[in-house]
Amino acid sequence: MSVSMTPEPTAAPAPAQGVPYPGESLEVHDYDVVVVGAGGAGLRAAIGAHEAGARTAIVCKSLLGKAHTVMAEGGIAASMANVYPEDNWRVHFRDTMRGGKMLNQWRMAQLHAQEAPDRVWELEEWGALFDRTPEGLISQRDFGGHAYARLAHVGDRTGLEMIRTLQQRAVSLGIDVYMECTISRLLKDGEAISGAVGYRRQSGQFVLFRAPAVVLATGGIGRSFKVTSNSWEYTGDGHSLTLWAGGSLVNMEFVQFHPTGMVWPPSVKGILVTESVRGDGGVLRNSEGRRFMFDYIPEFFRAETAESEEEGDRWYTDKRKNRRPPELLPRDEVARAINSEVKAGRGSPHGGVFLDIASRRDAEYIRKRLPSMYHQFKELAEVDITAEAMEVGPTCHYVMGGVEVDPDTQAAVGVPGLYAAGEVAGGMHGANRLGGNSLGDLLVFGKRAGDAAASYVSGLGGRPAVADADVHRVLHEALLPFDLAGASGEKKVENAYELQVELQETMHDLVGIIRTQSELDRALKEIAVLRGRVPDAAVRGGRVYNPGWHLAMDLHSMLTVSECIAKAALERRESRGGHTRDDYPKTDPEWGTLNLIVRWDGREVTLDRQPLPQMPADLAELFEEKH
């Protein structure tokens, strides 16, 4: 493998072959498959493509090992039945569909439930060291919405172990990696993919990747919201690249607000407090000290049996006759409950609620099971979670919506040669993702995407062409902010950071956890105004590591995905999963048969309603059982 960092590219920068642009040298590389993103999905896709014989490269916006996947704490959901022998893929499939409020692409949910155990064992074969049960099996922990404890984990650092293992595998296979390189446009030859253009963050050098297949594994969109667990890279690039290339997105109205992000101090607002705290016994209390989640258990989950109290603890009994703490209801339910408590004036001093594990588990247990959380609160908030409750509140965490793909191959609908896997792909999680289902998703569909991309390339007769004019257009657009700065005397120019703050506030205030028609209308008007202002964002300074320039470019995708979310949220007149409408508070069975498909018409986002694919009878039967 060659891991390249600016300014030294992997291969010596080749002069642009027939792609002259005034004053520019272009670094050019040829591959069969280019994987954009080095999180779990990207690494697994690249390993799959490479092992299938494709010349493969990984391109990532930040450093290798720094993707979101590394931050995943709780674990990988897989029905290995190590803790509950009665667990199996059908139960996992049913939990996933129910968690997603039945809007999931059923075939993806099925493949995920069937293949996740194999992908976990494969990780172990490649060197991952999971926590063990007393019998020596891979330990599995409880998480919201899962009928059985099934998250394979490594303390609260599962993502770190997963990335470490996949990275080591990719390195040992010799896959080329281009770090700190942001892809800003896909290229096509006719309808099919022919490559991608990006720039190196440190030097500003433009890079052209000529490749017949591109796998997008770019993760989420959280940076469009003011309070988020997502880091700076998550500006919805893969979502926008797909739209601009003629593909479509599905389920964009469904954004997951994780119930527990830090709320204090302001500098760390939004940083995730893992669900493992609740999985390991933590409970939520309001300012009156009341475990308020008992007031919010939907009929859907609760059996006739009411709460029970044993050994000083409280539980409710679910439809499967399992005792469940109500803090482990699906995330959308818990986030809305916290929101309601805060609105009712029963919140914590800094606008959240209290998450208390200190009064329920001893200090040694907490430090052993939740080492990252212990340090996170100690260092960032000066709170000792073994002695005091944490203050927490909802934070924008995950987007269920994403690239519309073929469920078996992850091929993007309508764009031959384009694939998407991981958080950037839509369908798998429906209206709401269950915790732990993302890490399984990355592995299962990362592999499938990589395998399918390699197979697509091997079936091609020749290589697609890259048109000079297309490359010129990308470079021209990218350099525009510098030209504007030069002309700033004559024209009013905009500041990219101010535009970003305005967009984040709009999305937080008007397209957040609870939505209404009037606010969504306002949001769309404000997004349209921002869209008109973004082309006037001027950037000063040079191209060597200039974050203002990078942001000016990212704003295009941030605005595009924001428009997708707001438009789809306005169209879906019901409440379901990660989409709550104050003016349509009920789940509407008619909407339960429809997906919203988002496309780009060259100027704005358009919407279409599409019936859900029909679930086969043998799977549909699973939902008729009286549990």
Ligand X SMILES: Cc1cc2nc3c(=O)[nH]c(=O)nc-3n(C[C@H](O)[C@H](O)[C@H](O)COP(=O)(O)OP(=O)(O)OC[C@H]3O[C@@H](n4cnc5c(N)ncnc54)[C@H](O)[C@@H]3O)c2cc1C
Catalytic residues: 258, 278
Query: Between 273 and 539, whose beta carbon lies closer to ligand X?
Result: 273
Determine contact, residues 239/561, Cβ cutoff 8 Å. yes
Among the listed residues 33, 35, 47, 71, the single contact to ligand X using CB under 6 A: 71
Counting beta carbons within 10 angstroms of the beta carbon of residue 625, is it exposed (0 to 12), middle (13 to 18) or buried (19 or more)?
A: exposed
225 DSSP β-pair partners: none
Nearer to ligand X by Cβ, of 272 and 524: the residue is: 272
Which residue's structure tokens are 């893969």? Answer: 238
Report the site for ligand X in 215-244 (rule: CB under 6 A): 217-219, 229-230, 233, 237
Smaller CB distance to ligand X: residue 550 or 599?
550
CA-based angle 93:99:105, to the nearest 5? Answer: 60
Sole binder of ligand X in the list 422, 427, 450, 578 (CB under 6 A): 422
User: Please, what is the minimum distance in Å from the beta carbon of residue 177 to ligand X?
Assistant: 10
Q: Which of 9, 75, 270, 426 binds ligand X (CB under 6 A)?
A: 75
User: Closest approach of Cβ 442 to ligand X, in Å?
Assistant: 5
Considering the complex, what minimum distance in angstroms separates the CB of residue 399 from ligand X?
9
Position among 56, 69, 242, 251 found at the interface with ligand X (CB under 6 A): 69
**Is 245 an interacting residue with respect to ligand X (CB under 6 A)?**
no
152 binds ligand X (CB under 6 A): no
Q: Does 206 bind ligand X (CB under 6 A)?
A: no
Q: At what angle do helices 158-173 and 40-51 cross, to 10 degrees?
A: 30
> Are the CB atoms for 85 and 486 separated by under 8 Å?
no
Among residue numbers 274 through 293, which ones bind ligand X (CB under 6 A)?
none
Minimum CB separation of residue 394 from ligand X in Å reads 14
List of residues 6+ apart from 415 with CB closer than 8 A: 188, 191, 192, 193, 242, 245, 246, 247
Q: Quote the tokens at residue 457.
A: 């390339």
Name the one range near ligand X by CB under 6 A: 39-47, 262-270, 348-356, 524-532: 39-47
- Compute φ and ψ for 228, nearest 5 degrees: -150, 150
Tell me the C-alpha distance between 28 and 98, whole Å: 47
SS3 label, residue 605: strand
Residue nearest to ligand X (CB): 39
Q: How far is CA 270 from CA 57, 260, 392, in A?
A: 33, 8, 9
152, 183, 431, 569: which one contacts ligand X (CB under 6 A)?
183
Of the candidate spans 34-42, 368-376, 473-481, 510-518, the one that interacts with ligand X by CB under 6 A turns out to be 34-42
Among positions 5, 19, 41, 373, the unique one binding ligand X when judged by CB under 6 A? 41
Neighbouring C-alpha atoms within 13 Å toward the C-beta of 61: 24
Look up residue 185 and give its two tokens: 């446009």
Q: Does 451 bind ligand X (CB under 6 A)?
A: no
Which is nearest to 117 in space by CA: 97, 140, 133, 94?
Answer: 140
Contact residues: ligand X, CB under 6 A: 36-42, 59-62, 67-69, 71-75, 158-159, 182-183, 217-219, 229-230, 233, 237, 272, 398, 422-424, 435-439, 442
